A and B are shown apart, each in its own frame.
Chain A
């Protein structure tokens, strides 16, 4: 006799994830991670995010100190406060990771992203695109008779806004670098 009295034929008996979140608010955080520039280090960081089910909204990486073999990875991620804390602690465990900074909580910081947008159009639309680009301080970095490539730098929000305006004007391709960020002051 089954101690749990499950009806024969019932199939509702699997619920692995019992973890309640301590708080439900989802926050977006920008993390700056200084790592040894060695093979596989980016794979370790990304593997951590995919393996543990964390989000990556944006990621940039480049060497910042050639002599010291160090790279800086900037990740924008979202999660509950507990998940964000876990992400930072888990990143800290990776052996070639030197420092993890949460720019979102460590005081004010500046964030910039660069994007290239290709806008194809003629006549009035082409003129309007140029006018808006001027307002957003986007530069024309390439031009053909029927196409512009704009370069714009700013916060991700600003780039989103610019891209939204360009869409009806013939936006055909966009390339974004992801966020680079630094804390303000010393």
Chain B
């Protein structure tokens, strides 16, 4: 019955790990060939893999794990997916209904534990309700603001039989979030857009979640109006990096020109982003002179952090379509002189060249490694995942994204250990693509067991490790904010990554000389199989630009030399 429901939902892959409480479902899985099951090596890996699958396809990711420890191991992944609005359907086994509450073997209060880290969850107590609940679960995960849902299925409910409820008959009418935006607000937004002297689009993961049509409409609107566009970490690729109006990522490690534009604009149009604290910096000094419009499918995102003048609740694609219609019917007006001066100002800011670095000497700079990776992989059908840390921010800065669904990173939760399993999920969904996980050595080790999965399924995922032998991001904060007291931010006793790869039947490549870098990267690309690329980089490089928390956008640190006295101790008390 479970497998039938999954098939009817169009599921082709399930990421999972068996155990006593899900054996009946695994037995069903065994006896069919329509749904592929990918055996991970840890349940957290299953959830991140499903996230990678979901993020790179736009379809919900599906996970199957056992009760107790299987379910608790999934919690980090669920929280990650909730923070980044990734649609997932996670099925957990549970002890039989008559044993629930008795501290049975491998019993955990799974719906209780996962209530705050799922969009919704269900404990199915009756087989009659099982298939209907599964269909409802897919509906909730994918409607409105997407998110992870969990269905907990006791073992006796798995064994019993009942009539099957097809998807069309399942209960979905009670959950129907609003997708069309309010036309009055849209009119007001267009009127503001026509007059604005210094407008900016600030876009986020919501554009990507809304689907390819949203990215298409966004491109049309941006290019027709000529308004500069920046994006959050989660929204990269919705507007192409090669696009004429792209001014780069914003936020704590965003580009100087993007953050300055956010600070100085007179009209900010937030599309599917949520004024996260990594974006706003100090809230009371956030873009002080601007009128703010906010398009979001989740009403709770509006006015949560930043007061919005023009709130529009709706799905990005629907709202953008209406904006374009209204703007065109009103005569395609923009403030030409204003925009011209605004672009001149932005060009000036660009001259700061905030991502400049110098590669010299015998040590590879991490920025250089990524610049070379970018140059050598750009033409490929490429998907990028990352772990969490400095390497993640550098990847966002030095790699470019032309299309949505090509960039998988843990934004909201910042989960070290996300990237490797995510890359497994992406590669499963796109077997012929070049899937690269830009990793830090410490993050990568957090889910390194998935090397077994990559080897088993012969997934040619490329693990590009920027190995600084440090918890680099932690070290950077300790340097800048904690008086250079480097408390426990070393990666001591690191493995020999080449040998480690070989132990799993993968390929290992070590590169430490800038002169060898290009050849080594080419070797990685051309190898048909999983590769662990150990790129030894400068150990003390800091990631700039940086807005220290508690500072406004125009108080950015640009690099060691230029910023020695940029921040007083007052700014330093903020995190």
Contact = CB atoms under 8 A, between A and B. Distances in A.
Contacts of A13: 481-482, 572-575
Interface string A54-88: 00000000000000000000000000001001100
Contacts of B483: 2, 6-10
B382 interface: no
Contact of B575 (A4, A16, A96): A16
Looking at chain B's contact residues, is the secondary structure mostly helix, strand, loop, or mixed? loop
Interface stretch (A37-45, A144-152, A163-171): A37-45
B567 A3 contact: yes
A18 B567 contact: no
B12 interface: no
Contacts of B303: 82, 85-86
Given A12-B573, A44-B115, A89-B299, A4 B548 contact: yes
B574 A86 contact: no
Nearest to B557: A3
Given A2-B484, A3-B566, A6-B572, A19 B305 contact: yes
A5 B569 contact: yes
B121 to A, nearest CB: 8
B266 interface: no
Contact of A43 (B115, B174, B484, B571): B115
Contact of A92 (B116, B300, B548, B565): B300
Contacts of B569: 4-7, 10
A86 B481 contact: no
B354 interface: no
Interface in B468-507: 479-485
A39 B483 CA distance: 51
A94 B298 CA distance: 11
B57 interface: no
B119 interface: yes
A36 B111 CA distance: 17
A51 B548 contact: no
Nearest to B564: A3
B402 interface: no
A18 B283 contact: yes
B159 interface: no
A42 B108 CA distance: 20
B449 interface: no
Nearest to B119: A95
B563 A3 contact: yes
Q: Which of B115, B300, B302, B549 has the most CB of A within 10 A?
A: B300
Of the four ranges (under 10, 10 to 19, 20 to 34, 35 or more), the interface on chain A belongs to: 35 or more
B115 A86 contact: no
Contacts of A16: 575
Contacts of B572: 4-6, 13
Interface string B301-339: 011110100000000000000000000000000000000
Contacts of B284: 20
Nearest to B478: A2
B112 A18 contact: no
B174 A36 contact: yes
A98 to B, nearest CB: 7
B271 interface: no
A45 to B, nearest CB: 11
Nearest to B284: A20
Contact of A98 (B174, B282, B484): B174
A93 B302 CA distance: 13
A165 B161 CA distance: 63
A105 interface: no
Contacts of A8: 483-485
Given A3-B564, A82-B303, A86-B304, A43 B112 contact: yes
A172 to B, nearest CB: 36
A1 interface: yes
Given A2-B483, A4-B569, A15-B550, A92 B574 contact: no
A47 B115 contact: yes
Contacts of A15: 549-550, 573-575
Interface in A18-47: 18-20, 22, 36, 39-40, 43-44, 47
Contacts of A36: 174
A143 interface: no
Contacts of B575: 13-16
Contacts of B549: 15, 18
B140 interface: yes
Contacts of A2: 479-480, 483-484
Contacts of A12: 573
Contacts of A177: none
Contact of B277 (A4, A18, A43, A51): A18
B123 interface: yes
Contacts of B277: 18
B120 interface: yes
Given A13-B574, A93-B298, A96-B174, 10 more contacts: A3-B563, A4-B569, A9-B483, A12-B573, A13-B572, A18-B277, A40-B115, A47-B116, A86-B303, A96-B120
Interface of A: 1-10, 12-16, 18-20, 22, 36, 39-40, 43-44, 47, 51, 82, 85-86, 89-90, 92-96, 98
20 contacts: A3-B563, A3-B567, A4-B571, A5-B569, A7-B569, A8-B483, A13-B481, A13-B575, A14-B575, A15-B575, A18-B550, A18-B574, A20-B284, A22-B307, A39-B123, A40-B123, A82-B303, A85-B303, A92-B299, A95-B120
